[in-house]
Structure 1
């Protein structure tokens, strides 16, 4: 699991700049830099998306976060094969940063942790 910070405030998984998803997928198979990556798990805040995302929520992490006892650490799958942290489509970075405060779609986010091989 990775510690994941996210500033995509329009994403329903964003909980105090932490990701409340159980798993996420960073996309951008041919990316050569962070600008060509994006969080494929991003889901805009609306009632329909809340209902459809119930099975991917990290409820235990969210509950612990209420008491500041742990940070949420989702499993991070990654398509960015040119990233040094990608090992068999799993991110092995200790900390992952997803960026873009004004994002309203997955393609407007990016993985700032991307580091080219």
Structure 2
């Protein structure tokens, strides 16, 4: 994947619109539109969530990002079975965008890259 842009400003994995999670999961099941998709990995910023999410942090990618202009590239799992980019529950889009700049819950995020089959 070339890039993953995240606008969920309140997510602890969001670092200047770059996702620092090692793995994210787009959820939405059998949806036929992007409106029903959301980032299931979303976690609000806070010490408790940081501690519980520490095993999913992409430290290597974060260090690489700090030393160069490479973007972090988490593994993207996807439950949106009706999305063109879903291949055996793996997103194969060249880039995805998670939208919602004031998100306070996973269900308030949305995968903007969803494209129906």
TM-score normalised by structure 1 residue count: 0.96
CA distance in 2, matches of 1:44, 1:68: 27
Retained in 2: the 8 A contact 1:38–1:109? Answer: yes
CA apart distance, 1:2:
5.5
Q: Which runs of 5+ in 2 are unaligned?
A: none
Aligned ranges for residues 21-60 of structure 1 at < 5 Å? 21-60=21-60
CA distance in 2, matches of 1:49, 1:77: 21
Retained in 2: the 8 A contact 1:10–1:103? Answer: yes
> How many aligned positions are there?
117
Report the counterpart of residue 100 of structure 2 in structure 1.
100
TM-score normalised by structure 2 residue count: 0.96
Q: Which runs of 5+ in 1 are unaligned?
A: none
Report the counterpart of residue 78 of structure 2 in structure 1.
78
CA apart distance, 1:67:
2.7
CA distance in 2, matches of 1:13, 1:23: 10
